[in-house]
Amino acid sequence: MHAEQSKNRTIALVLLAAGDSRRYGGNKLLDEVDGRLMYRHVVDEVLALPENFFCKKILVSQYRPILDCAAELGFTAVENRESHLGISHSMHLGLAAAEETGAEAVCFSVCDQPWLKGETIKALVEGWQESGLGLASLSCQGKDGNPAIFSREYFPELKAITGDRGGRGVLRSHPSDVYRHEVANGQELEDVDVRAITDFFMPELDVYARFSEVQLLRFHEPDAGLFIAESPKVVERALNAGYEPVSLLVETKHIQGEAKEIISRCGNIPVYTAEFEVLKQLTGFPLTRGVLCAMRRKPLPAAKELLAGASRIAVLENVMNPTNVGSVFRSAAALNLDAVLLTTGCSDPLYRRSSRVSMGTVFQIPWTYFDSIREPWPSQGVSILKELGFKTVAMALKEDSIALDDPVLKQEEKLAIVIGTEGDGLAEETIADCDFTVKIPMGWGADSLNASVAAGIAFWELGKR
């Protein structure tokens, strides 16, 4: 298209305001931002442009208050009664309304960008008209954003989009035909997908502020309950292991930082945010790297199922300190053990502190509990291990203990290293049932080690190398 012809292209504006705001956890478009309803920011900026700048102004929404207001302000208000079909359906409705006017192009913008300026929209359209290109997008430091412009030749591609996908794929498919208008203030491109905490007693925050670990564990009884993962690394490893996120609690400064990728991966779940001190007051502790994620537990396998193919495992007996449990898991994963079994007296590996101390390895190394009814420990539990070919190694200081580096241990094809509780160590019955009793030689008259320290040493000496 010649430049002179391109300057005269008629363009319609379509504002999209029909989203379900699942990530926000409520109808964000009708929440206030800087003293105005969120959707009104973009609407008011458009109204401040020259009267005939767009040949038609269209607003698509599922919300009656927004539709009524748009109609009163001179927009063509289009109701989306099937918002569950995704943003593509809103685009199709807006595009159809634009085509009725014979518009040669459509500018799509969203109503959850409250910092977008009308002068920026105007500059984008005028730059696109001058360029003679078929497509356009705002951009900041290499990142594209809304609004975006599509000339008539791309309408068929827009109509082919389905689900919760916008027109970004069309822009990527035709990079040489895209005009990009660079904005200096990247905040103009930011949409509001997170919900600032204004009420400590929001029921959605109960899982972070008022429910104990045990209450979370039993949240969906008889089905598996919930747990809280803390820090981006731990949440990432939980996601990698297939755990389903329910909601996120994020320190404000991490929204565009360490938590950004996590928020993106979690999809359309509620994201709640506040400053560090507010979150500390809400939860009762300082968040590690500013991220908590409520997640659904998964059913645990039976012990026999877990141990198929394993040759080096750890067994934790009544280790009640969640920090020790997490530390044992971290060592077990790092030193190549195949699995971890726990007695019912142990702290839960998915408790927040355990999973954080483990650096998320509780989501990497297989584990389960001995069933207290069908596989009571130690009687039935030790029998199961022996039935599967494991020699059991009780870590205990006894007169008949052998040294950890005794060659006979490394000759065994399958070993189960049994670690006892803090302070009391292993039960006498457990020691009696095990094949070996093993000690770690110590100096300076020391007679014990922290359970997790002892476990790490044993895993290094007896693990797979």
What stretch of H or E contains 236?
A: helix 232-240
Considering the domain architecture, whether residues 371 and 247 belong to the same structural domain is answered as no
Considering the domain architecture, whether residues 146 and 37 belong to the same structural domain is answered as yes
> If you average pLDDT over residues 365-393, what whole number do you get?
94
User: Which CATH number does the domain housing residue 381 bear?
Assistant: 3.40.1280.10
Residue type, 176: S
The residue among 187 and 339 whose pLDDT is bigger is 339
Domain limits for position 382 = 303-462
pLDDT one-digit tens code per residue, 111-159: 999 999 999 999 999 999 999 999 999 999 888 999 999 999 999 999 9
Considering the domain architecture, whether residues 146 and 8 belong to the same structural domain is answered as yes
Residue type, 413: E
Q: What's the number of domains the chain is made of?
A: 3
Instruction: State both tokens at 269.
Output: 């779940």
169, HSE (Cβ side, Cα atoms, 13 Å): 11
User: Which CATH number does the domain housing residue 107 bear?
Assistant: 3.90.550.10
Considering the domain architecture, whether residues 374 and 274 belong to the same structural domain is answered as no
The residue among 142 and 458 whose pLDDT is bigger is 458
Among candidate residues 189, 205, 226, the one where a domain is terminated: 189
Q: Checking phi first, is residue 231 left (phi over 0); if not, alpha (psi -120 to 50) or beta?
A: left
Whether 4 shows a pLDDT value over 70: the answer reads no
User: Which CATH number does the domain housing residue 266 bear?
Assistant: 3.30.1330.30
Q: Find, among 92, 29, 30, the residue nearest to 58 by Cα.
A: 92
Q: Tell me how far apart the alpha carbons of residues 457 and 409 are, in angstroms, rounded to a whole number.
A: 14
Considering the domain architecture, whether residues 62 and 134 belong to the same structural domain is answered as yes
pLDDT one-digit tens code per residue, 145-203: 999 999 999 999 999 999 988 999 999 999 999 999 999 888 888 776 677 787 788 88
Contact present, 18 and 110 (Cβ < 8 Å): no
The DSSP secondary structure of 181-233, one letter per residue, reads: EE-S-GGGG----SEE---TT-GGGHHHHT--HHHHHTTTTTS--EEEEESHH
Among candidate residues 296, 323, 340, the one where a domain is terminated: 296
Considering the domain architecture, whether residues 324 and 453 belong to the same structural domain is answered as yes
Considering the domain architecture, whether residues 153 and 273 belong to the same structural domain is answered as no
pLDDT one-digit tens code per residue, 39-77: 999 999 999 999 999 999 999 999 999 999 999 999 999
> If you average pLDDT over residues 263-281, what whole number do you get?
87
Considering the domain architecture, whether residues 92 and 209 belong to the same structural domain is answered as no
> If you average pLDDT over residues 427-443, what whole number do you get?
92
Helix (H, G, I), strand (E, B) or coil at 464: coil
pLDDT of residue 1: 47
pLDDT of residue 3: 45
pLDDT of residue 441: 83
Among candidate residues 272, 296, 320, the one where a domain is terminated: 296
Helix (H, G, I), strand (E, B) or coil at 250: strand
% helix, strand, coil for the chain, step of 5: 40, 20, 40
The residue among 274 and 158 whose pLDDT is bigger is 158
pLDDT of residue 23: 62
Contact present, 394 and 436 (Cβ < 8 Å): yes
pLDDT of residue 6: 56
Considering the domain architecture, whether residues 269 and 360 belong to the same structural domain is answered as no
Q: Tell me how far apart the alpha carbons of residues 70 and 91 are, in angstroms, rounded to a whole number.
A: 17
pLDDT one-digit tens code per residue, 395-420: 998 878 898 989 999 899 999 999 99
Considering the domain architecture, whether residues 103 and 153 belong to the same structural domain is answered as yes
Considering the domain architecture, whether residues 247 and 342 belong to the same structural domain is answered as no
